[in-house]
Structure 1
Amino acid sequence: MPSATRPADRYSPLYLLAALGAGGIAVTFFLWLMFWVPHPDRPVPVFEDIVAAFGAGDWRAQAMIGTAYLGIAFFAFQHYRLLIWNLMQLSRFKRTADYAALCASNAESQLMALPLTLAMAINVGFVLGMVAVPGLWGVVEWLFPGAVVAFLAVGVLALRQLGAFLGRVKTTGGFDWTGNGSFAQMLPAFALSMVGVGLSAPAAMSSVPLISGASIILATFFLVASAVVGIVALILGVHSMMSHGVSAEAAPTILIVIPILTVLGILMLRVGHGLHVHFGVHEAPGDMLLLLTKIVSAQVLFGIFGLAMLRRTGYGARFLSGPENSVGAYALICPGVAMGVMLQFWINIGLVGAGLVAKFGVAFWVLSALPVATQVWMVWLLLRLNRRHFARPRVGQPVAAQ
């Protein structure tokens, strides 16, 4: 076989995180439209709302909308391009001895990156539909059952993969405690949470109580499943790190709690909205402010802890700017994206909703600069990692170790 000419030629299922990160960034651009474009008659902005805002807005509003569209289009394209590439590579990878070795080790849980990214692909598809398809809201109730079926299919895949992994380690053993010095085993919880947040969309947006109620029930199941799996993996990871230290190459996984909390937080907001509209369960703005503040607080704590571990292991100097490459570096994208997303919800639903900050006032834009800065940082990081892993080296240039 020909020798590898770039790091991505040595395939790992964690390259699915490159597609996941691109999809997440596309969603961050949609949030500009979600929170900065008026949509009084709908829970989310659609094509008609955006066109009306563009026509009525000044040059700043038009520049914002244009930038959001460009960001959504570019990163959605990157998401699907990288997803297709991963599916092709994964199909080949399954026929190799490396795949058999992966399925006999702790790394088998990496395969959960597949349902995680597939769930993101469905979400990105809905974003594209809302911003680009005229009249979509008129037929959206017909789309919700299909979306539920699609997310359930991904959820079944995730549960089967998790069951295969747990069944193997519980019956035959072989779990390597010394090599578990990270939160890598929380990837299944992340996948389950992404399925759950997708299933929760009809809860918040459907006008049909049956569809909303079914969505609430199914989303709650995956919320509980994600929480249970995540708590167990968190305890095991902390125990292993306290006993054997942090695995330097897997250090970015310490930040995985941040995207899990963001996804579950959005799930709870959607379920709460559905309960309010259809089932008489009312939450005051202060309740949402408290919920979102608790989530942001936990994320900040894990962020401080995770960044400290990255510094102590010299991760950036080795795998971001140094001579080594690690596919695990893509695990840094989702925490940054998720932190920015949750800050948007905290500002717009928490602070503005509770009346602490005036919409579009000076304080509002000062605070909004934080998620936007995080978003720009993640755009830079994703493009940098893609260059390191996917670009062909120049003639005579050695390929860095992976």
Structure 2
Amino acid sequence: MSEEFLKVARAAREAAAELAPLPRAPKDRALRTVADALVAHAAEIVEANAKDVEQARAQGTAEAMIDRLRLDEARIAAIAEAVRQVADLPDPVGEVVRGSTLPNGLELRQLRVPLGVIGIIYEGRPNVTVDAAALCLKSGNAVLLRGSSSAYSSNTALVRIMQEALAGTEVPAGAVQLVPGQTRDSVKELMRARGLVDVLIPRGGASLINSVVEESTVPVIETGVGNCHVYVDAEADVELAVQILVNAKAQRPSVCNAAETFLVHEGIADAFVPRALTALAEAGVTVHGDARIAGYGEVVPVTEDDFYAEYLSLDIAAAVVGSLEDAVAHIRRYGSGHTDAIVTRSQRAARRFVALVDSAAVAVNASTRFTDGGEFGFGAEIGISTQKLHSRGPMGLPELTSTKWIYTGEGHLRTSEGTVVAG
């Protein structure tokens, strides 16, 4: 590893040890100081961000992506407010998860503790730089940030301002570090920093996440890829199903909890599909449908790749299925384990769907768009985990902690005959 990388990684490691035992109050004060600094230095941040935007434009980046990259004073104010909201959240560190007195008299407790040093690899949006730092600091973790090169000037300015703000607080400034470099070599260094980094969280598209999962020697929490489904059951309310489908697809198509496929039971297809195609067309959505969907209106012929696709655009795949079990089989084959929904008036069908679908979130008569830390009442999230270890679903502050066991005795000794108390 390069000396430059080792310097920031070791600084984060040292800061993590200082940060872990801090109580809530100094962490909250530090976060509010960071929020104030971001607002006070908004002009510097905007100036740095303009370089990234100019470079993106020169490279022919799509305007939608440039908009995700762009920062202005209003967006910076919103980012700062999000930091203040994190400060207001309960501190998970020190929470007693379980506790009891054992038959031998030992007092046993399982406490939440920070993970240590968290590496975040992410694309595009510079707001993630601040969001991730705030969540890590609140949960007692140091963070190594590796954003995309497209936002390097913005991220550099944001991290510098946060470090300068932290320098005047009880939280060590080294707890927030930007991974140096803009090439893939710096990403590889972070992925191979086992012993310096405790966990990696990738945020971005499927290619980024797969690369980190396959190449990292540091434990990875997989997040983000969302091939979400809406299944319209034979006993669905047609009007309700149309509204849920359009909301799940079109309310914000570029996010991971947007629907990418809808499946319709053949028993309700005649009533539902024509109305759904009309409503989706009015919302600007292109339907990639199978032969049975095509029998109800003009669609683009669906391909195998379409069923696997996370479009993140105004496109959706569609198919007619013979049963709830067929819908579940389709989801198991093509889904990403993020969020899948059923629309039905049948409690039996809803219960069976919930039992059979193996995803981080399952929605009943509700849009997939609700799978979100804020919507779940967590206040904020670092991402949405689609794996089963060590967390699953929206990851709030508790999911950025581990636990340790503390047992207290009065001179308890373990012997071959059992427990004795010394003295």
Regarding TM over 0.5, the answer is no
Would you tell me which structure has more helix in proportion to its own residues? 1
- Determine which structure has greater relative contact order: mean sequence separation of CA pairs < 8 Å that are 6+ residues apart, divided by chain length: 1
TM range (shorter): under 0.3
TM-score, normalised with respect to structure 2:
0.24
TM-score, normalised with respect to structure 1:
0.25
